Structure 1
Amino acid sequence: MSEPLVIVDSSACSHVVACSVCHGSWVFLSKTTADEEAQAHRLIERLAALPMCSEVGCKGNAVTRGVCRPHYDARRYQERKAPRG
């Protein structure tokens, strides 16, 4: 997965954060604030790109076999608990 392109373009008095994924842009007067917001937006875009859990109503990120860690653990527990016949 490639890194989301979120850049900070600075001029003498303002700093623009632009995202190539959501095509959003924000203007800040402080370079520090612009850098912090760019970093936060990169994280948001990275998380949005991860696969989601296939369980209905779950908003967790899938880690293995299409489900999040809690659902995966619950399935394994149920499989082990089930009688073998």
Structure 2
Amino acid sequence: MGEFDDYWARAYRGDSGVPHSDPQRLVTTWTGAFALGAAACVHHHASALASHLQSLPHSWQDMTMMLDQKRWKKILEKKQQQA
């Protein structure tokens, strides 16, 4: 083996002197990475949903104003036809 292989081979043989060679730490590291990724994804979607919900009352208000305007237009047209 070359110098590079001698340096890195201990980590892959499960040498107790290399901290990340312990199988339990490997599982813990991957579990933590997965949990962090899931939390980041959930936080992103939750914040996007929250910002959408904050803008929702404005869109509902706009919609009700438009419906109210259409209703008043119909009422005025009906009054003009009757007069």
TM range (shorter): 0.3 to 0.5
Kindly name which structure, 1 or 2, has the bigger radius of gyration based on alpha carbons: 2
More helix by share: 2
TM-score after normalising by structure 1: 0.35
TM-score after normalising by structure 2: 0.36
More strand by share: 1
